[in-house]
Structure 1
Amino acid sequence: MRGDGDGWVVSDSGARFWGRHGAAGLLLRAPRPDGSAAVLLQHRAPWSHQGGTWALPGGARDSHETAEQAAVREANEEAGLSGTQLTVRTTVVTAEVVGSGGTQWTYTTVIADAPEPLDTIPNRESSELRWVAEDQVAELPLHPGFAASWQRLREVTATIPLLVIDPQ
């Protein structure tokens, strides 16, 4: 059911996590002119949870979705990207919490590649969308969850060569 994932899961410690069925985000990489990778980041709107920070396009998973489906849907909603423009490479569970009543909540980062830095169309959840060199991401004020997982994600992406795709 579309939208049935919207809502908070409360951990045993009282911390709140968005997504009744977990959440997923898209770490989209594309080659820069020098061959290094850039990643697409979202500057979260001031009114949103952890607004003013930088993170990945992403959000709550619906009950019928895989992490990959949710991440691609969210990237479409928040950045105007089509799933046909990218190639999913792998997924990484970057956060896991047991909620009250034994509910398990996870955040899954879906790593994908695009043939080039794609044009984006921000929605109201974004103050800005920006392609950022991988080695400059940590210099930005990051969403705490993204900041906590960035080093691990860098280690994973280092093992996956950037897929160079002919855009034609």
Structure 2
Amino acid sequence: MAELSPEEILKEALRVADSQFGGTLATIHEDDGTPYPAFVLFHLTDEGEVIYGSVIESQHTRDTEAIPEVAFLIDNRDVLGYDWPAFDRVTIEGAAERIDPDDPRYEGYFDALVAKNWLSNYFTKIGNLYVIAPRRITVVLGIGPERYTVDFD
């Protein structure tokens, strides 16, 4: 298995993320620890942060407010019907942080998210803006067993 540098792993993660509007956010129910997956629109920054907006009433928002540890899956499953060996996956593990509108980072994060998908404006304006700070990013390219992981401090 060829090794990839942390920079190459992040570059591959960005390549997969750039081709997708949405990904799967996995949160944890506070009351019983059950995982909860939800499809959300997102943007992956050059630093590996996941930006997404979420309506206040959603289950994943309630979960994230109670337990900020989350995982986020980005994949190109659309290739499975015609080029299944090209099925790539990116998993980002980390902690989600709500970014309030008065936070100096809000405008930059919001603009980056909406630039990728204008519909994100709706979910964010009636809800909250979140950023997942990565602890670990794992990339799986194709159907082979190779996994490329970079840990963040």
Same fold (TM over 0.5): no
Which structure carries more strand by proportion? 2
TM-score, normalised by the number of residues in structure 2: 0.29
